[in-house]
Structure 1
């Protein structure tokens, strides 16, 4: 079963269709609701909705999802019926299989209720396919259309002194590279507000994105937030709210992060936690928003040489 624990939730929809071929007199039975077993369209609709809600029980490797909407509709033609299923959720993975299962179960129910009224070869369920899906990585992209430079600043006395290897910052660099950030400046400095402030002042117009890693906790030397927040010219509280919400569903310690985000002149600056997992979760949670922001904001001025 695929691990979706680190995928952010999003609104997702899927539409699937299928066709049941049947003799004209069977189509008329569907239209009038007069099969021997009752109203086939209504019964098949319930079967399709039930199939969507129980797809994870029917298909071994499907994830269970909260189904916020499942519906089945029909289009009756002379010698066939088009079955359409729409399924919606808010989750970490899509509902394509739920929509396809809904169509399949509705079609099989119609088949079962019509078979007393015709020969077996007169019925055929086919062309079950996905028509449309929305949400997830196909809709909320996590990769920039065009590469942009970024800066990653790791704050740690122990890493800066060589007593400990940096894993959090390197992991952030890896995620940014996968997202098509082109030139990434990576630096490690001690837990020094003075050095951080000087570095931000130096980089603030050269890099569209500056990420600090470390110093967002409650320790006596965790002063990244106190250093960055007064410099912000336009704060974006929703970014860190999203990061904390995402993290807190994975560990209650995420509530202790005091990260902030916003613009310092022409650079978007975000403060990530110093732990590898905390930095990873925070960046994963907000990456689609960052990509969207940079893709739609075309007029970011760059004074540096990393375009």
Structure 2
């Protein structure tokens, strides 16, 4: 069973379809409810069984996660040109860490089996045909698809790769001893969007407010990097001054990013409530404070990417259109 505990919740949806072929036209009439059924209302029984099956998928497929199902819909259609065909669609939605395609496939399959069971006393020549996933939305694969075609890589922009700087704040660690910054670098270089990123700078500096400010300004104004990820100095200790230094540098604060990082961390580590990390924009550079903890820094990247790519399209004047091709987002 895959470990999905590090993933953030996101809206997921999937639609699967099962086909049922019937040789006898009278059988179609029974399924439609136009003729008497041996066991009662076929469509309603199949609809209920399909919904139950989608909700109980993890009970019969051992490697499926137990997930909260927010919506299940079972639809039946009878193509006009094919009097011998019944199409059964199952749509499933959830806001969770993993997809719902198996739930949709299971719902469609069990609904088809229920139709067969309900009608077989009158016609046992029916055949359950293809069972396939029509489409799914949400999660990593959807994000990769959007990233490759748009986010941060808009065809009208000359900058095809985001340049990233990693800045670690620590009084006690050298670059040879640093681990949190290295985790950030390594994770980005191995990520699904590694071809859209380039690590152009990595440095460990002391927890000195003036020095942090100077380094951030230089990276923004001289090197003109796209994204600065800082690590460390975001707590409540006397030497934790990264948020103060960042606030002095940025022009616009992006509170949603820091709120999302804290919310994600809070569900995993109670001490996340002590984080004072901030995020913001200076000219065309986005700065994000990450925790100094190795685990917390790594988990923060799971929240930050790939959504951060879309911020650059908006920052560069391309608006929200690209990220909304699958539907309107009322929260942006």
Would you call these one fold, judging by a TM-score over 0.5? yes
Q: Contact 1:160/1:190 (CA < 8 Å) preserved in 2?
A: no
Paired with 1:176 and 1:220, the residues of 2 have a C-alpha distance of: 31
1:17 counterpart residue number: 17
Aligned to 2:135: 132
| 8 A Cα contact 1:173 1:184, kept in partner | no
Cα distance in 1 for partners of 2:162, 2:168 equals: 20
Flag structure 1 segments of 5+ consecutive residues without an equivalent: 301-307
2:126 is aligned with 1:110: no
1:75-105 per-residue CA deviation (whole Å, 9 max, x = no partner) reads 1241121101110000111100000000000
1:249-268 CA-to-partner distances (Å, cap 9, x unmatched) read: 11111111111000122211
Corresponding residue for residue 188 of structure 1: 204
- In the TM superposition, residue 298 of structure 1 has moved relative to its aligned partner by 4.2
Indicate the residue corresponding to 1:63 in structure 2: 65
Shift of 1:160: 3.0
In 1, are the aligned partners of 2:217 and 2:249 still within 8 Å (CA)? no
Q: How far apart in 1 are the matches of 2:270 and 2:211?
A: 31
Q: Structure 1 residue 124: deviation in Å?
A: 0.5
**Which residue of 289, 293, 305 corresponds with 2:311?**
293
Q: How far apart, in 2, do the equivalents of 1:35 and 1:296 lie?
A: 58
Contact 1:216–1:273 (CA under 8 A) maintained in structure 2: yes
d(CA) in 2 for partners of 1:167, 1:195: 21
TM-score by structure 2 length?
0.85
1:175 offset after TM fit, Å? 2.6
Structure 2 residue 233 is the aligned partner of structure 1 residue 215: yes
CA contact (8 A) 2:73 2:91 kept: yes
1:297 is displaced (CA, Å) by: 4.4
Distance 2:134 2:163 in 1: 38
Distance in 1 of aligned mates of 2:39 and 2:217? 77
In the TM superposition, residue 157 of structure 1 has moved relative to its aligned partner by: 1.1
Corresponding residue number in structure 2 for 1:229? 247
1:200 is matched with 216
CA distance in 2, matches of 1:25, 1:176: 60
Q: Secondary structure at the match of 2:121?
A: helix
Per-residue displacement from partner, 1:234-293 (whole Å, max 9, x unpaired)? 111000111111111111111111110001222111111111011111221121221222
Number of aligned residues = 296
What is the CA–CA distance in structure 1 between the aligned matches of 2:247 and 2:253, rounded to whole Å? 8
Aligned equivalents of 1:47 and 1:202: distance in 2? 63
Q: 1:295 offset after TM fit, Å? A: 4.6
| Contact 2:175–2:203 under 8 Å retained in 1 | no
266, 274, 277: which is aligned to 2:295? 277
Over the aligned positions, Cα root-mean-square deviation in angstroms equals: 1.8
Paired position in structure 2 for 1:153: 167
